[in-house]
Structure 1
Amino acid sequence: MIKTMIKKIAVLVLALVFIGCSEGDILEIPLDIFSDDELQNCSNENDNTFVFFVIDGDTNRSLSVNFTDSNFEIEPATIADISVDEPIVITLNTTTNQLLYREFDTVIDGDDYFCNSVPVSNVNVTQELISSNGTVEISYTLQNTTGTETIYERTVTLNDVTLEGNGIAIRRELLVLGTDSVTITN
């Protein structure tokens, strides 16, 4: 009888411990807040590095894709440089081809922050998550052709990405970073 009572008390104590323990606050970073923001880009064609980024100025957050590709052109010169049939696929990693989520202590200017070889010094990153896997697809859709120019819509889509940092991991199967236009003079 005493053994049964001790077992019941032990089960009750363990249940209370598990109920009372907390894994901490669940932090949800809404990556879809960027869906209404303008997709911007820049490049350093000398070393074939490119950046696509969106900034939410209301919350001082950014989502950017940085990658290196010797065949990609941010401003294609001819229609032959664009494939509407096959998207360009870039595999993300933690070093060279990255998806970065950042929160800042102030509003940032994308051209100053992302497009300079030396970023501005008066901006502090307060939270950063870096991709550990996933892919980026850059696809083109023909929008309009005139006698003098051809316009394409370029869409940057993230697939099966995981962002990690500071004990946080966020996974998204599909996230459209954004769209912009590419105009080619015929």
Structure 2
Amino acid sequence: MRKLVFVLICFCLIPFQSCDDGDIITIELDFGDTFESCGDKNLVLFKTKDDPSESLSLKLTKVTLDDLLQVDENGIFEMTYSVNTTNPFNYRTYSNTNLPSDLFCSDIPNSEVIITQDLQSLGGSADVKTVLTEDDNDGIPAILEDINNNGDLEDDDTDGDTIPNYIDADDDGDNILTKDEHPDINGDGDISDAQDTDGDGTPDYLDTDDDGDGTLTRDEEKEPQDENPANDITNSEIGPDYLNPEVKDVLPATAYRSHIILKTYVVSLILRDIDIQILAADVYDFGTLELSSEREGNPVFN
């Protein structure tokens, strides 16, 4: 859990707290490590909690979530926004026992929400950083797909289809997905014992001829051709022809299977020099927002 400690300097004129001048009260706001977002034209980054019901929110005017996802060639976006009247930061408390899901960004405010305290900072800054990570979800951690062992994942392309192995769902271009060639056969994170059907020292997920019969795996299909040798079976007791060295039927492949690349964005927010009347924090790690999507890879057949 992410904790924020605010120091309250209490004055006797404050109606909700009776104390002597100069008393200092420390309030601990215990929010989670993640935040949410909403807003089509004006982005609100917020986090809420119940018991007691509280919220922290930052409004970024004329900023959208898509703006924060415009990463550079290195998969990074960084921007510092000023906290001001246009981009206010708020701490609110509520009389509601539980807060509704439409607390922010609704065209019509929820009439059941009762705000008991609304403190706003009109100064400070907000550092936003987004990091994009792409993966092929093939069962092999990206770091283990550095075949050249040079720390550069971009130059590891076993099948030469222009898609690096770490985001290539079919590393060897045999039209059998890497995850289906059992690279981590016992799920222990060690790929040194990956499946090697023909025992030639090259694991199936990097072997273009899995059964060692001289016919490329991708060419061991029957009509109708569908770029999937796994469903072409002559002897059901042995399995697909591409794993049966006794079957060498050839139907030359003409294309690679399409590749799905998973995209994960992690947006982090750091607030600095926030000043909310009687609440103050020099630096506050607001947490992270994780978003996922996917794109289609376009392998070049060769």
TM-score of the pair, normalised by structure 2: 0.45
Q: CA deviation at 1:37?
A: 5.2
Look up the match of 2:149: none
The partner residue of 2:95 within 105, 125, 145 is 105
Look up the match of 1:13: none
For the 8 Å contact 2:42–2:64, the answer to whether it is kept is no
Which stretch of the first structure deviates more once superposed, 134-143 or 52-61?
Answer: 134-143
Amino acid at match of 1:60: S
Q: CA deviation at 1:115?
A: 2.5
Q: Are 2:35 and 1:39 equivalent residues in the alignment?
A: yes
SS in 1 for 2:103: helix
More strand by share: 1
For the 8 Å contact 2:76–2:132, the answer to whether it is kept is no
Deviation track 1:117-145 (CA, whole Å, cap 9, x = no partner) reads 22101111111110120111110123443
Look up the match of 1:176: 285
The partner residue of 1:51 within 28, 40, 44 is 44
Say which one has the larger Rg: 2
Q: CA deviation at 1:86?
A: 5.1
The partner residue of 2:108 within 118, 122, 128 is 118
The partner residue of 2:268 within 130, 151, 155 is 155
**Matched residue count:** 151
* Structure 1 gaps, min length 5: 1-20
SS in 1 for 2:102: helix
TM-score of the pair, normalised by structure 1: 0.71
SS in 1 for 2:123: strand
Alpha-carbon distance between aligned partners in 2 of 1:68 and 1:161, rounded to the nearest angstrom: 18
* Identical aligned residues as a percent: 26
Higher relative contact order (CA 8 A, sep 6+): 1
CA change 1:126–1:37 in 2 (3 A) is farther
Which stretch of the first structure deviates more once superposed, 152-161 or 96-105?
Answer: 152-161
Amino acid at match of 1:153: V
Look up the match of 1:17: none
The partner residue of 2:126 within 118, 122, 136 is 136
More helix by share: 1
Question: Equivalent residues in 2 for 1:7-22 (5 A)?
Answer: 22=20
Alpha-carbon distance between aligned partners in 1 of 2:113 and 2:131, rounded to the nearest angstrom: 36
Amino acid at match of 1:39: F
RMSD of Structure 2 on Structure 1 (CA): 2.4
* Structure 2 gaps, min length 5: 1-18, 137-166, 168-260, 296-302
Which stretch of the first structure deviates more once superposed, 113-122 or 138-147?
Answer: 138-147
Amino acid at match of 1:96: T
For the 8 Å contact 2:60–2:87, the answer to whether it is kept is yes
Amino acid at match of 1:73: T
For the 8 Å contact 2:43–2:59, the answer to whether it is kept is yes
